[in-house]
Structure 1
Amino acid sequence: MLTALRSDRTASRSEPLGPVFRLYQSAVVTSDLGDGMYRIAVPLITLGITHSALSVSLVGFAVRLPWLVATLPAGVVNDRATPVRVMRAASLLRLVLLAAMCALAFLGELPLWLLALIAFGIGCAGTFVDVGAQSALPRLVRPEQLPKANATVQSAQTLLAQLLGPALGGVVVALGSGQGLATVAVLYAVTVVALGRIPSAPAAAPPASPPAGAASLRRDASLKSLTGELAEGLRYLGGRPDLRRLALAGAANNLSYSISLTLLPLWAVAPGPLRLPQISYGLLLACLAVGSVIAGPFAGRTIDRLGQGHVMRYGGFGLGASYLMLAVPSVPVVAAGLLGYGLVCIVWNVAVVSYRQTTVPSELFGRVNAGYRWITWGVFPIGSLLAGALAEGVGLAGAFLVAGALPLLAAVFLPVRGLVESTA
C-alpha cells in the first residue's frame, strides 16, 4: 500500500502543472521582474539626491516598513477572500502609486520625503501581493506538486527579479529615473492583466491535517474580529516549535540581508570602495540571481538527497559565510559572496516554503504564513535603520561583518528541531 501511494505521488509530481498555474506564474514573475527593477531604481534615485548613509537608510526603512505593518492584515484578508482577487486589487493599487512616482520623476519634482512616502504605499500594496501569492499556490496545484511548483516559481522569480531586474534597472535608471520607473509600471500592468485571466475561484487543494498535538482550528469570518483572526494564526504559529525556530532563523538571515543590501550601493557605487558606475551596480547585484538560477533547477533533487531537515538546519552557515565576503573591498570577492548567497538561499527557501505549505492547515495558512512573514520580513525596516547606525559607528566593512555573524549565530544557537512529517 505504501509503495503504491509513493508511486502515485511520484507520478503526480511529474505531471504538468496546468494552464492556471502558468497564468499564476506569468503574473508572479512579471511582478517580480518589476520588483527587481524597482528595488534597484529606488536606491539609485536616492543616491542621485544624497550620499548620506543615514538618508539612504531612512529611504530603505520606508521601502521595507510595509513588511512589518502590513503583513499580518494581508494574511487575514487573504484568508477571508480569494487570494488571487487580493493579488489583483493590490497589484492595481501598486500600479497607480508607481505611475504617480513616475510622473513626478519625469517632472523633476520628486524630493526625498515624497519618494519615501510613495515607496511606503507601493510596499504596502506589494506585501498583499506577495502574501497572496504563497496563499494562492496550494489552491492551484495538488499537495504533492508543491515542491515542483515552488521550485519552478522561485527559479523564474530569481532569474527575473534578481538577475534581469537589477541589470535592466541599473541600465534604465542610468538613462533617467523616469524611464526606469515607466518600465516597471508596464510590467506591473502585465501582472494585473495576467491575474485577471485566472479563474476567480479555482478548486482549493484538500486541507492539510494539523500535525499531532495541534488543535484543529476553524473560523467564522462573520463573527470574529480582525484581531481575533490574527491572534488565532499567531497562536497556531506559537504552538509549533519547528515553525518558531524556522521563523527566527529566517529573521536573522533577512536582518543580515537588509543591512547588506541597504549599504551595498554606498560600498559599490563610486565614490565607494568598489568604485563602480551606476550601470555596473545592477550587474554586480545580479550575481545574487546567478547562483539561484544555477541552483534552482536542482533544488528539489538537492533537498531529496540531503534531506529537507538538514537543508533547513544547516543552510544558515552558508548564508553567513556569503555575507562575510561582502566586507572585502574587491569586486570579484563581493561578486563571489553574492553568488554563494544565491546558491544556498534558493535551496533553503524551497525547503522551508514547501515544509510550511504541507504542514499548516489550509484554512489557517494565510494567517500563519502572514505571522511567519511578519517575523521574518518585519526585520527588514529594522535592518535598514540599523545599517545606517552601523555604518556611522563601525564603518561599512564592519557593518558587513556584523551582517555575516547573524545567520552563523542563529544556526548555532537556534537549530531547527521537532520537524513533522508532511500530512498533505
Structure 2
Amino acid sequence: MASAVSNLGDGIIRTVIPLLAITLTRDPVLVGALTALAFLPWLLFAIPSGALVDRMDRRRAMSLANLLRAVVIGGLIAAIAAGQVNMVVLYAVTFVLGMAETVYDSAARAMLPQVVRRDQLDRANGPLTSAEIVTETFLGAPIGSFLFAWLVVAPFLTGALGYLLAAVLILSIVGNLRPGREGNRESGTATMRADIAEGLRWLRDHHLLRALAVLSGLTAAAHTMANAVLVLYVVDTLDVPESAFGVFLVSAGLGGLLGGLCAAWLSRRAGRIATMIVSAVFCAVANVGMGLTDAAWLGAALFGLVGVSVSIWNVLVMSLRQALIPEQLFGRVQGAYRTLVWGMIPLGALVGGVVAGVTSVPTTFVISGVLQLLLAVMCLQLFRRHRGQIEAAHLPDAERATAD
C-alpha cells in the first residue's frame, strides 16, 4: 500500500512537471535539461545514499525521502500560487526530487533480497514492477494531466499529499529490515568513507556487473535522448492535446505491465540471456519507428512496445543484481552501479535536446534507436562470456553451493 501511494505521487509529479515546463518554453534544450537534472543526483549522490541505506533501517530511509519530496512540492505549489514559477524553479525542484529518489529507491531495492530467495527474485520483481507501472502510468499520468488541465496547482497538491501518506504507511511495515553488520557499526569501526570504498571495490572487481553497468548506462543515455523530448514529440509531432499527454503515456504503461508480468515466464522459456537481448532490440526498433511516423495511434503503439521491452529488461537485470550482490553490501554496490548507469542519463538528455534543436525531434528518436541497437550487440557479447555465471546466479542457495 505504501509503495502504491508513493508510486502514484511519482506518476502525477513526473507527468505534470514537463507539462508545466512547456507552458514556459518550447525550447527542446531547456525542456531536455529537466530530464538531465532529474537523473543528475544519481551521478552525485547514489553512492553516499547507498552507504546511508546500508547503515539504517530501510523503512526510515524511505519515509524520510518521501517527507522531503512532499516539502519540495509544497514549495513549488507556493511558487505557482504566487506567480513566481520559472524554469530555474523547476530545475531546482527536479534536482531535489532526484536527490530524494536516490535514497528511496536504494532502500526499496535493498529490502527485497532480505525477504525473497534468489530463485524467486524474477517472480517477485515482475509483479512489483507491474504494480509500479499501474499506479504511476495508468493512474498517476492521466490523473496528473487531467488535473493540470483543470487547475495547474491541483496535481502538485495531490502528489504532495501522496508522498506524506506514503511516508506514514512505510513506517507501519513490520519486520527486521535493518542491514547486517550491526556489531561492526555499533563498535564505531565502520565509517561512511570505508563503507563507500568497500562497495566500490566490490563492483570494480566484479567484471560482469562492472561491464553491464557501463553498457546499461550508455543504453540509458541513448534511450533518454528520445525520452527527454518526448513531450515535444507527443504534443507537436503527433499533435496530441496537452490534456491527453498522460493518456498517451498509458500506452507505455500497458506495455510495461505486460512486460513485468511475463518477464519471469519468458526467461524460463527462452532463457535469460535471449530474453534480455531481444527486449533490448525491440526497444531500439520501436524508437526508430517512432521517429518515422507522425500518426498518433502508431506512435502510441510503438511507445507501448518500448514499455514492454524496458520492463522486461529492468526486471531481469534487477533480479540479476539482487542475486549477485551480497545483502550487507547491496545499498552501496547498487549506488555505485546506479551512478554509472543513471549518471549517464543527464548527458543523454542534454544531447537529445541539442540534437532535436539542430535537426528535429523525430530525427532524435531515430538516432536514439540506432545507438541502442549497437549497444544491444555489445551486451550480447558480454552475456555470452559470462553465461555460466548468469545462469547460476538464480539457482537456490543449496544448488549454487553445489555448482560452486
TM-score normalised per structure 2:
0.89
Whether the 8 Å contact between 1:84 and 1:200 is mirrored in structure 2 is no
TM-superposed deviation, 1:200: 6.3
The question of whether the paired residues in 2 share the 8 Å contact of 1:82 and 1:200 is answered with no
Give the Å deviation of 1:297: 2.3
| More divergent stretch after superposition (293-302 vs 35-44) | 293-302
Q: Given residue 29 of structure 2, which amino acid in structure 1 is its aligned partner?
A: L
Which deviations, in whole Å up to 9, do the C-alpha atoms of 1:31-66 show, x marking residues without a partner?
122111111111100011111112212233222221
CA contact (8 A) 1:72 1:367 kept: yes
Q: Is the 8 A contact 1:249 1:407 kept in 2?
A: no
Counterpart for residue 203 of structure 2? 237
Supply the AA of the counterpart residue of 1:329.
D
Shift of 1:192: 0.6
Match status 1:287 vs 2:251 = yes
Distance 1:352 1:59, change over 3 A: closer
- The CA deviation string for residues 96-127 of structure 1, in whole angstroms up to 9 with x for no partner, is 11111122223322122112112211211122
Q: Which of 50, 53, 57 is equivalent to 2:32?
A: 57
Per-residue CA deviation, residues 257-315 of structure 1 (Å, 9 max, x unaligned), is 3222211111221xx12111111111112211111222332222111111122223443
Indicate the residue corresponding to 2:402 in structure 1: none
SS in 1 for 2:328: coil
1:30 match: secondary structure: helix
- Cα-to-partner distance string for 1:8-52 (whole Å, 9 max, x where unaligned): xxxxxxxxxxxxxxxxxx222221221111111111000111111
1:258 corresponds, among 224, 230, 242, to 224
Mapped contact 1:159–1:289 kept (Cα < 8 A): yes
Match of 1:102 in 2: 77
For 2:352 and 2:333, locate their aligned partners in 1 and report how far apart those are by CA, in whole Å: 29
Q: How many residues align?
A: 386
**1:59–1:343 distance in 2 versus 1, CA, 3 Å:** closer
Query: Which residue identity does 1:234 align to in structure 2?
Result: L
| Deviates further, 123-132 or 53-62 | 53-62
Residue 79 of structure 1 corresponds to which residue in structure 2? 54
Contact 2:283 2:309 in 1 (8 A): yes
Alignment of 1:79-228 (within 5 A): 79-199=54-174, 201-202=176-177, 222-228=188-194
**C-alpha separation between the residues in 2 aligned to 1:147 and 1:412?**
24
In structure 1, C-alpha distance between the alignment counterparts of 2:124 and 2:179, rounded to whole Å = 15
AA partner of residue 218 (structure 2):
A
How far has the Cα of 1:78 moved from its partner? 0.8
**Residues 257 and 174 of structure 1: CA distance in aligned 2, closer, same or farther (over 3 Å):** farther
- Once the 2 structures are TM-superposed, how far is the Cα of residue 190 of structure 1 from its aligned partner? 2.0
State the shift of 1:409 in Å: 0.8
- Is 1:400 equivalent to 2:365 in the alignment? yes
Gaps of 5+ in 1: 1-25, 208-217
In structure 1, what is the Cα distance between the partners aligned to 2:217 and 2:343?
Answer: 8
Moved over 6 A (4+): none
3-state DSSP of counterpart to 2:228: helix
Deviation at 1:219, TM superposition (A): 7.2
8 Å CA contact 1:163–1:288 kept in 2: the answer is no
Q: Distance in 2 between matches of 1:227 and 1:319?
A: 39
Distance 1:257 1:33, change over 3 A: farther
What is the match of residue 282 of structure 2? 318
1:358 aligns with 2:316: no
Q: Which amino acid aligns with 1:320?
A: A
Contact 2:55–2:185 (Cα < 8 Å) also in 1 = no
State the TM-score, normalizing by the size of structure 1.
Answer: 0.85
Question: 2: distance between equivalents of 1:412 and 1:231?
Answer: 32
Judging changes above 3 Å, is the alpha-carbon distance between structure 1 residues 219 and 301 closer, same or farther for their aligned structure 2 residues? farther
- Mapping for residues 310-349 of structure 1, pairs under 5 Å: 310-327=274-291, 328-349=293-314
Q: Which moved more, 1:381-390 or 1:42-51?
A: 381-390
Task: Tell me how far 1:220 sits from its aligned partner.
Answer: 5.8
Q: Work out the CA distance in 2 between the residues paired with 1:231 and 1:405.
A: 36
3-state SS in 2 of match to 1:364: helix
Task: Determine the C-alpha separation between the residues in 1 that align with 2:164 and 2:85.
Answer: 22
Q: What SS does structure 2 have at the residue aligned with 1:70?
A: helix
Contact 1:233 1:371 in 2 (8 A): yes
Q: In the alignment, what sits opposite 2:346?
A: 381
Give SS of 2:42's match. helix
Partner of 1:300: 264
Secondary structure at the residue paired with 2:54? helix
SS in 2 for 1:197: coil
Q: 1:224 deviation in Å?
A: 4.3
The question of whether the paired residues in 2 share the 8 Å contact of 1:253 and 1:316 is answered with no
CA contact (8 A) 2:80 2:153 kept: yes
Q: 1:273 aligns with which of 218, 237, 255?
A: 237
Q: Distance in 1 between matches of 2:379 and 2:117?
A: 32
The alignment status of 1:418 with 2:383, answered yes or no, reads no
1:85/1:200 contact within 8 Å kept: no
**Comparing 336-345 and 42-51, the one that deviates more:** 336-345
> Structure 1 CA distance, aligned partners of 2:179 and 2:194?
24
Match of 1:214 in 2: none
Higher helix share: 2
Sequence identity, in percent? 28
Provide closer, same or farther for how the CA distance between residues 253 and 285 of structure 1 changes in structure 2, counting only shifts above 3 A.
farther
**Distance in 2 between the 1:341 and 1:219 partners?**
45
